[in-house]
Amino acid sequence: MDIGERLNEALKFHTVFTVKFPGFEIPVSETVVISWVVMAALILGALAFTRGLKTVPKGPQALLEGGVEFLNNFARNYFGRRAEAFAPYIGTIFLFLIFANVIPSLSPVSFNLAGRTFTAPFEIKPPARDINFAAALAVMSILLVLFAGLKARGLKGWAKNLLHPVPLMLPFNLLEYIIRPASMCLRLFGNILGGFIIMVLIGSAAPFIVPPVFSLYFDFLDGIIQALVFTFLTVLFLSEAVET
């Protein structure tokens, strides 16, 4: 398989299995399955880290409590007394995106060695290369921004804020609820897809030693950066919405 064929194959969205109901069926793609795997890993990790908690934290518990305290302090800087309401969502979306973005680095690599071809038994693709995944996260975040603003300001205060600083800004302020999630979605989708394509090209053209080296950036470091950017944008939009 040449580079073009491998790239074309890598960019396809395969259906892993189909859930059948009377009269219709729901195809479950690899994007959904990988998302389920990430969620299961986070749930199992949370259960493992929170078992047998002690009054004086040690080891993993101390690390976990340090992370939670950092998250709470971070949320207080932006949300004040509302930090307890938003910190769990911010922490969850951040961890979910980190795991979802870096999981391709665990994927084995196909290579040729001494005339023999080793074909990887499976390939883990980043869920965010699917624009539906990125769009779902962006819509979820902007809905939280919308409802948080309504709760913090009340319907009247929220409507009044749409006219800020002058009534002529009404259509532009309304458009923000479309432009912001679109921007968040395309930024996450574009960066992850771009890194995925580069890794596919490197894996097809370079020796087997090279892809793991580049994977440290395109799969690991860049994945963490994109998780940070998406989460920070959510925090900024939320803090602006609840500011009264």
Q: Secondary structure of 151-201 in the HEC alphabet?
A: HHHHHHHHHHHCCCCCHHHHHHHHHHHHHHHHHHHHHHHHHHHHHHHHHHH
SS3 111: strand
Residue whose pair of structure tokens reads 């950017």 in the numeric block: 229
pLDDT score for 104: 82
Q: Which of the 8 DSSP states describes residue 118?
A: E
**pLDDT of 69-118, one tens digit each?**
999 999 999 988 888 899 999 999 999 999 999 988 887 666 566 666 66
pLDDT score for 147: 94
pLDDT score for 109: 62
Q: Is there a contact between 30 and 9 (Cβ–Cβ < 8 Å)?
A: no
Give domain limits for the chain.
71-242
pLDDT score for 106: 80
d(CA 159, CA 139): 21
pLDDT score for 218: 81
pLDDT score for 61: 83
pLDDT score for 41: 94
d(CA 24, CA 21): 5
Going by C-beta distance under 8 Å and a sequence separation of 6 or more, which residues neighbour residue 203?
A: 6, 109, 110, 211
Task: Provide the Cα torsion 61, 66, 72, 74; round to 10°.
Answer: -150
Other Cβ atoms less than 10 A from the Cβ of 7: the count is 15
Residues of the chain with pLDDT under 70: 1-2, 108-122, 206-208, 244
pLDDT score for 238: 93
Residue whose pair of structure tokens reads 């769990």 in the numeric block: 88
pLDDT score for 42: 94
Terminus-to-terminus CA distance in the chain, angstroms?
A: 59
pLDDT score for 114: 60
Whole-angstrom Cα Rg for the chain:
22
pTM of the model: 0.87
Residue whose pair of structure tokens reads 């992850």 in the numeric block: 192
d(CA 169, CA 220): 41
